[in-house]
């Protein structure tokens, strides 16, 4: 496993004097290079410290998980606004990775260019995406009518494949900047769009289908305390693997998969608390999902 922090690699530079007739060093280096090329290349994206979530603690929990796996890992972490600007300025930030993991919370931002570029990594570059918890509650203005306070609801424009309703002002601004590009509906990219959550209570999780991401996880298990993300709309192509019902009888998908062009998107809506990240069931689902997404076709 290799870690690269903030897209900067602490590279190890080896230099040696070649002995006559000795090719063992070169053979060993070639073998290591070949092995490295086969390792899953994982990009973990977050912003620290986090306002509603402990993204520092969760990043540290991710690093612990990654240490048990043969992942070549890069961590992209900035503060909230800097990361948003980074998304806007970089169209190819995940290109070349097998999996990009988003553990972010950018709910009310109207930066549609940032949303488009995040989606582009999967839709155009074929990088499989794994959305964690509040990543689902990001870029709301691209699909949630609640944030369209500047217009009457009758003026909202329907976009995408699901139930996205968007302010005409936001659509106009997008079309002026990007007349040749499709409007980025984040809810459609998520598969199961969400704009609200239940209370922080116990959640019962049930496995609905057999899937590599749920291997080793009980068919039914309980989480002591979490935050269940409720579904606003769901695309037919989203296949639910785990389903949750909280103590107050609210019900919603917990883990699902969806094809995105030639790539895959998976979402895991749990993980509000850092303590969840340290629980065996969460870690199993997380690890299995990344390994599944990292498989070479």
Is the backbone peptide bond immediately before 74 cis, with ω within 30 degrees of 0? no
Percent of the chain with pLDDT over 70: 86
pLDDT for the residue 13 = 27
pLDDT (mean) for 28-53: 76
CA atoms of 131 and 187, how far apart (whole Å): 12
pLDDT level of residue 221 (50, 70, 90 thresholds): very high
pLDDT (mean) for 148-164: 83
pLDDT for the residue 9 = 34
pLDDT (mean) for 52-57: 93
CA atoms of 213 and 292, how far apart (whole Å): 7
Quote the crossing angle between the two packed helices 280-294 and 55-67, to the nearest 10°: 70
User: Maximum Cα–Cα distance for the chain, whole Å?
Assistant: 81
- Has residue 81 got a pLDDT over 70? yes
- Has residue 293 got a pLDDT over 60? yes
CA atoms of 230 and 214, how far apart (whole Å): 21
pLDDT (mean) for 189-217: 94
CB 224 within 8 A of CB 276: no
pLDDT for the residue 2 = 52
Place of tokens 């992942």: 71
- How deeply is 63 buried, as exposed, middle or buried, from its count of CB atoms within 10 A (0-12, 13-18, 19+)? middle
pLDDT for the residue 154 = 77
SS3 of residue 290 by DSSP: helix
pLDDT level of residue 22 (50, 70, 90 thresholds): very low
pLDDT (mean) for 226-245: 96
Query: Comparing C-alpha atoms, which of 54, 105, 107, 71 is closest to residue 277?
Result: 54
What is the DSSP annotation of 5-49?
ETTB--------PPPTT--HHHHHHHHHHHHHHHS-EEEEEEESS
pLDDT (mean) for 32-40: 63
Least confident of 40-44, 68-72, 152-156: 152-156
pLDDT for the residue 264 = 97
Phi first, then psi: what are they for 196, rounded to 5°? -155, 165
pLDDT (mean) for 20-30: 43
- Has residue 12 got a pLDDT over 80? no
pLDDT for the residue 69 = 94
Mean residue pLDDT across the chain: 88
pLDDT for the residue 147 = 72
- Has residue 116 got a pLDDT over 60? yes
Structural domains of the chain in order of their starting residue, each with its CATH number? 2-9+23-139+193-294 (3.40.50.880)
Least confident of 4-8, 81-85, 92-96, 168-172: 4-8
- Has residue 32 got a pLDDT over 50? no
pTM: 0.87
pLDDT for the residue 152 = 73
pLDDT level of residue 46 (50, 70, 90 thresholds): very high
What is the DSSP annotation of 134-200?
GGTT--GGGT-GGG-TTS-GGG-EEETTTTEEE-HHHHHHHHHH-TTS----HHHHHSEE-SEEEEE
Place of tokens 């106009």: 172
pLDDT for the residue 145 = 78
Two tokens at 78? 């900035």
Two tokens at 243? 């389903």
């Amino acid at each position: 496993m290799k870690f690269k922090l903030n897209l900067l690699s602490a590279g190890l530079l080896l230099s040696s004097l070649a002995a006559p007739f000795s090719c063992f060093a070169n053979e060993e280096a070639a073998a290591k290079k070949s092995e490295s090329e086969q390792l899953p290349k994982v990009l973990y994206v977050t912003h620290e410290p986090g306002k509603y979530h402990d993204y520092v603690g969760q990043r540290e929990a991710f690093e612990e998980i990654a240490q048990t796996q043969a992942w070549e890992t890069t961590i992209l972490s900035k503060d909230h606004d800097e990361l948003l600007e980074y998304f806007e300025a970089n169209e190819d930030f995940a290109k070349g990775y097998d999996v990009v993991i988003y553990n972010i919370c950018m709910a009310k931002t109207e930066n549609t260019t940032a949303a488009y570029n995040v989606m582009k990594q999967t839709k155009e570059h074929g990088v499989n995406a794994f959305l964690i918890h509040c990543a689902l509650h990001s870029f709301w203005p691209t699909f949630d009518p609640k944030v369209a306070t500047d217009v009457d609801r009758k003026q909202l424009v329907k976009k995408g494949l699901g139930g996205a309703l968007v302010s005409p002002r936001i659509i106009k601004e997008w079309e002026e900047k990007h007349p040749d590009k499709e409007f980025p509906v984040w809810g459609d990219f998520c598969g199961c769009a969400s704009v609200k959550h239940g209370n922080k209570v116990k959640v019962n999780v049930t496995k609905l289908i057999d899937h590599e991401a749920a291997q080793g996880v009980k068919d039914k298990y309980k989480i002591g305390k979490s935050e269940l993300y409720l579904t606003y709309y769901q695309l037919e192509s989203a296949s639910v693997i785990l389903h949750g019902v909280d103590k107050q009888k609210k019900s919603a998908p917990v883990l699902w998969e969806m094809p995105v062009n030639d790539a895959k998107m998976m979402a895991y809506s749990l993980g509000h608390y850092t303590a969840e990240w340290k629980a065996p069931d969460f870690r199993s689902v997380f690890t299995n999902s990344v390994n599944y997404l990292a498989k070479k076709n």
